[in-house]
Amino acid sequence: MKYPNIIAIDGPAASGKTTIANQLAEKWGYLFFDTGVMYRAVTWLALHKNILTKDEALVTDLADRIKIDVAPPSKDDGREYDVIADGIDVTWKIRKNKVDSQVSRVSAYPGVRKALTKQQRRIGLVGKVIMVGRDIGTVVLPEADLKIYLDASVEERANRRYKQRVDRGEDVELRKVLKKLKKRDNIDSTREVAPLRAAEDAVLINTDDLSIAEVVSKIENIALSMMKE
């Protein structure tokens, strides 16, 4: 079965992008690439090196020099892929609260986005890829054959993020998760460079009342119908 060659899936945090794209990639034999891990890796490495994330120049310089690798999972601990930053396995480190609270600031820096967008386009233009992020369809790969924008209420997304962390054994409070998601939504959607928004030709899917399987099936049907046109 032939599917669109380049697929972009955008949306806010915890809208289901990563899980759904990963399942589609496995079914179709495509590369799954979550671009958000690059911004998280830069953020984590800055914190690790005691670089203040408010220092745009130093963080941008770090983004220009950092080597980030994304590979199939090497451990059976719930990870969907390995994320290696300068030789360090940061797969779970980049999901910590400290990174959550700083990544939107880092990802808003024009120099950081420019540095990472180049790497993302190089990977995406090879084809047979499902790329996930917040500006894939609008900035990184505007030429994508199929663009999907996944969304859900902030309350539903907070519940999902809360459950993920509880399942990993973290001590978290739902109200704090909700507060952080609201703050991140505001930063991501109002930043000057590549703000979070749906591409004009994207297909919008609200996942509030849909299971993962239902969303996967919906996207498959969209892809198949598009290829028949």
Q: In sequence order, what are the residues at sequence separation of 6 or more whose Cβ sits closer than 8 angstroms to the Cβ of residue 44?
A: 85, 90, 93, 94, 96, 99
Does pLDDT of 12 surpass 90?
yes
Mean pLDDT, residues 50-64: 97
CATH code at position 177: 3.40.50.300
Q: Is residue 224 in some structural domain? A: no
Does pLDDT of 203 surpass 90?
yes
Amino acid 80: pLDDT:
80
Does pLDDT of 194 surpass 90?
no
Amino acid 184: pLDDT:
87
Mean pLDDT, residues 191-200: 90
Q: Is residue 116 in some structural domain? A: yes
Mean pLDDT, residues 106-124: 91
Amino acid 1: pLDDT:
60
The token pair at 118 is: 């180049």
Work out whether the CA dihedral 133, 135, 138, 143 comes out positive or negative: negative
Q: Is residue 227 in some structural domain? A: no
Mean pLDDT, residues 36-60: 96
Q: List the beta bridge partners of residue 84.
A: 69, 89
Total domains present in the chain: 1
Q: Is residue 71 in some structural domain? A: yes
What number of other Cβ atoms are within 10 A of residue 97's Cβ? 13
Mean pLDDT, residues 31-51: 93
% of residues, the chain, pLDDT over 70: 99
Q: Which pLDDT band holds residue 43 (cuts at 50, 70, 90)?
A: very high
Cβ atoms 207, 16 nearer than 8 A = yes
| 100 closest CA partner among 13, 173, 10 | 13
Instruction: Give the global pTM.
Output: 0.83
Q: Of 137-141, 144-148, 194-198, 211-215, which gets the smallest average pLDDT?
A: 194-198
Residue 128, domain extent: 6-211
Does pLDDT of 229 surpass 70?
no
Instruction: List helix spans (H) across the chain.
Output: 17-28, 36-48, 56-65, 97-107, 110-124, 154-167, 174-190, 212-228
Q: Is residue 29 in some structural domain? A: yes
| φ and ψ of 125, to 5 deg | -70, -10
Q: Which residue is it, tokens 């955008």? A: 10
Q: Is residue 216 in some structural domain? A: no
Q: Is residue 229 in some structural domain? A: no
> What per-residue string of b and e applies to 63-79 under the rule 16 or more CB within 10 Å gives b?
beebebebeeeeeeeee
Amino acid 227: pLDDT:
77
Q: Is residue 17 in some structural domain? A: yes
For the chain, helix (H) and strand (E) counts, in that order, are 8, 8
Does pLDDT of 175 surpass 90?
yes
DSSP 202: P
% of residues, the chain, pLDDT over 90: 69
